[in-house]
Amino acid sequence: MRLVGLTGGIGSGKSTVSEQLRDNGAVVIDADAIVRELQRPGEPVFAAMVQRWGRDVVAEDGTLDRAAVAAIVFNDKDELKALESIVHPVLRTEIERRIAEQRSTENVVVLDMALLTEKANPYEVTEIIVVDLAPETAVDRLVRFRGFSEDDAAKRIAAQANREERLAVATHVIDNNGDLTALKQQVDALWQRLN
């Protein structure tokens, strides 16, 4: 196994890069997707969240109301801490399990995780791909393609690790200021080097 971290801010193109690496043959461990699995009704993480915040965080169809959770934790540090202490330990165990499953293979394993630079890196990731771009371009893409308001996009970006913090831990930088063709060329070139 060659274990490589993949990180980048919201709107950076991290999901696009992750998909392209998967198409090339990488095994992707997607932290956001795992969190969504852990938060499905019936899962202990879901139960713990409902215990803390009540039915307010449950949508009519019985699934988690993510927007309601975001509204609670976004403006309150204590509530954010509470959310992290519910989710992070279980997430970490699941990521470790998936890494362990791959350990004795020859696969390139990509750990796709926005928090890689913001928290201590507990997964023995020695290489980190950072998808980098000007924050204004990220705001623009979130508004144009993902339905964010400009204000919301800018706030979400400001709440994350900044560009310099991310670049400081990068071993491979993907420049996503250009178009999708330029992005794909860089990912393909990187894939050649990772294999």
29 DSSP 8-state letter: E
Q: Smallest distance from the beta carbon of 174 to ligand ADP, in angstroms?
A: 10
Stretch 62-91 residues interacting with ligand ADP (CB under 6 A):
none
Shorter beta-carbon distance to ligand ADP: residue 30 or 46: 30
CA distance 121 to 44: 25
Q: Smallest distance from the beta carbon of 166 to ligand ADP, in angstroms?
A: 12
CA distance 40 to 167: 34
7 binds ligand ADP (CB under 6 A): no
Strand segments, DSSP code E, in 43-177 are 108-112, 127-132, 172-175
145 binds ligand ADP (CB under 6 A): yes
8 binds ligand ADP (CB under 6 A): yes
Among 7, 39, 160, 176, binds ligand ADP (CB under 6 A): 176
13 binds ligand ADP (CB under 6 A): yes
60: tokens are 């009519």
162 binds ligand ADP (CB under 6 A): no
Cα–Cα nearest to 194, from 119, 131, 133, 126? 126
Which residues pair with residue 84 across a beta bridge? none
Q: Which spans of this chain sit near ligand ADP (rule: CB under 6 A)?
A: 8, 10-16, 141, 145-146, 176, 178-180, 183
